[in-house]
Amino acid sequence: APRRRVGELRCRSVGAMSSSTPYTALDIPQRAKRVGSFTAVAGGVVALVLLLLGYREESPMRLAAADVQWDTSTSATINADEILSLPNATTAPCWRQFSGYLTASATKQLFYWYHESVEDPAGKPLVLWLTGGPGCSSLSGMFGELGPLVIGEDMHVRHNPYSWTRLANFLFIEQPAGVGFSYPQQQKIGDVVTADDTYRALVDFFARRQELHGRPFYVMGESYAGHYVPHTVAAIERGNARLPAGSPELIALAGFTIGNAYTDYRLDFGAQLPFARSHALASQEAYDAADKACGGDFAKCMTPCGGPTGSANATISPCPLKCNKECGQAFWTAMAWMLPDPRGRPGVDVYDIYANVCPLPVKMYMDSLDSTADFGEMLRMPEDSLLALVREQARLHAAQAGSAPLRGRRAATVTSPVVPECWIPAMLAYLNHAEVQRAIHVRPDKRPSHWTPCNMWLPWYDFNYESVVPLYRKWAAEGKYEILVYSGDTDTTVRLRNSAP
């Protein structure tokens, strides 16, 4: 047979409304032909909230020997997790997929979605994907970036022929507990706890999928996964060290990859305003005022040094000066042009300054400013209200799509030929539909009140480590892993320069 070119793989197309297939149609109005997105605003709010949070040291969790025992009695569970139908699907899958829950502890269950490779799964490595935040769902990466499924603007699910599942079997885990469909929500969580919970979930996964024992295993992620991924790798190393040499339960860790990696809080947080100034997103006058008020140390007003109380600890160096009111005001004044304006200016996508910005309805944005509740509360609304919001965003986006600023940005950016430009509202409506949740085995008695792309309970998140550079140095010296760190050059939040050697 002739060889396929890259991107030519297609699954068999079927009608989404056809009764001859196991794929059911959702009762969702089809009036939203063009949907808006929370991408710029929600992503920006997530990024900006993180800047205000502190760090606190936490000792690595010590796992008992019983925590790494492999329970072969659970091997049948994975078959119960197989997804046999997906509502509103327009393609019959040419691969197997599974979803459900993995045990992280006696009280914590992490939701997962596993896709076998669409080509030769038995001969492909296994990849774990972790989206950053902290507190953002890996399902966003699955549907909006690299997974085999895409939720279209018409609320139908289609196959993504450019999916990375052509190269590997992919496991997406929503972590830490409290993110997405994982439960329960926690008020004591940080880098170390998250990594150890993810490791125990992997132990559960491999216990069920024993055909994957010994398969080359990679951890991948983006943004705050610049901390998630290295700490997960370290947790796997600790777990492997407790097992005897040659044990089939050893995870065959081969390497890791991180895109636009958050690496070091001083490098990353201290570079955002200089980046904005160098791209004419902040005026020289405003930059100079912030530089003077902050003494050149912008990071100190992004993340309080020494933890939330301001006291130094073993891993966080004390700031030369605590963030003062003048510094904070001058900094945010300089950055103000990048933020959405309720009078109509869409702001700038902090993850791609040249990308089009999908608007957020003004009333919703204003309500978020006046509310003391977390940002996620705005997304926890009845289905009819959510669909009305999708339609309102569609109207706003259609009205703004032809504006000169958006046309200018669009010419300078690369857009996906498959993933819709404004895709998050469609994903929200889809994953919050009861039929969809039944199909993917969400536990109705345990699920959160509403699935959201990012959980905003982050005031309780402990950023346990100032930097992961020491881990990179250790692994580089050992030379036993394949390591790739890649960055785009239009990201304000985690800059290309901060990933340089």
Q: How many domains does the chain have?
A: 2
Residue 24 resides in a domain: no
> What's the start-to-end Cα distance of the chain, in Å?
45
Regarding whether 479 and 422 lie in a shared domain, the answer is: no
Least confident of 63-72, 112-121, 371-380, 388-397: 63-72
Enter the tokens of residue 45. 């709010």
**Positive or negative CA dihedral for 426, 428, 429, 435?**
positive
Regarding whether 377 and 241 lie in a shared domain, the answer is: no
Regarding whether 200 and 337 lie in a shared domain, the answer is: no
Residue 353 resides in a domain: yes
Give the per-residue pLDDT at 304.
Answer: 39
Regarding whether 261 and 312 lie in a shared domain, the answer is: no
* SS3 of residue 99 by DSSP: strand
Q: Exposed/middle/buried for 105, CB within 10 Å: 0-12, 13-18, 19+?
A: middle
DSSP 8-class letter at 376? G
- Beta bridge partners of residue 281, listed in sequence order: none
The structure's pTM equals 0.76
More confident residue, 195 or 93: 195
What is the domain-level CATH number for residue 471? Answer: 3.40.50.1820
Regarding whether 105 and 71 lie in a shared domain, the answer is: yes
Enter the tokens of residue 117. 């490779």
Residue 55 resides in a domain: no
Residue 367 resides in a domain: yes
> How high does pLDDT run on average in the chain?
72
Determine the Cα–Cα distance for residues 144 and 153; give it in Å rounded to an integer. 12
- Beta bridge partners of residue 27, listed in sequence order: none
Question: Cβ distance 10 to 161 under 8 Å?
Answer: yes
pLDDT (average), residues 393-411: 46
Domain that holds residue 215: 61-265+464-499
Give the per-residue pLDDT at 163.
Answer: 94
Regarding whether 71 and 161 lie in a shared domain, the answer is: yes
Q: What is the pLDDT of residues 361-388, one digit of tens each?
A: 444 434 433 333 333 343 344 444 444 5
Regarding whether 240 and 311 lie in a shared domain, the answer is: no
Regarding whether 491 and 354 lie in a shared domain, the answer is: no
pLDDT at 15 over 80: no
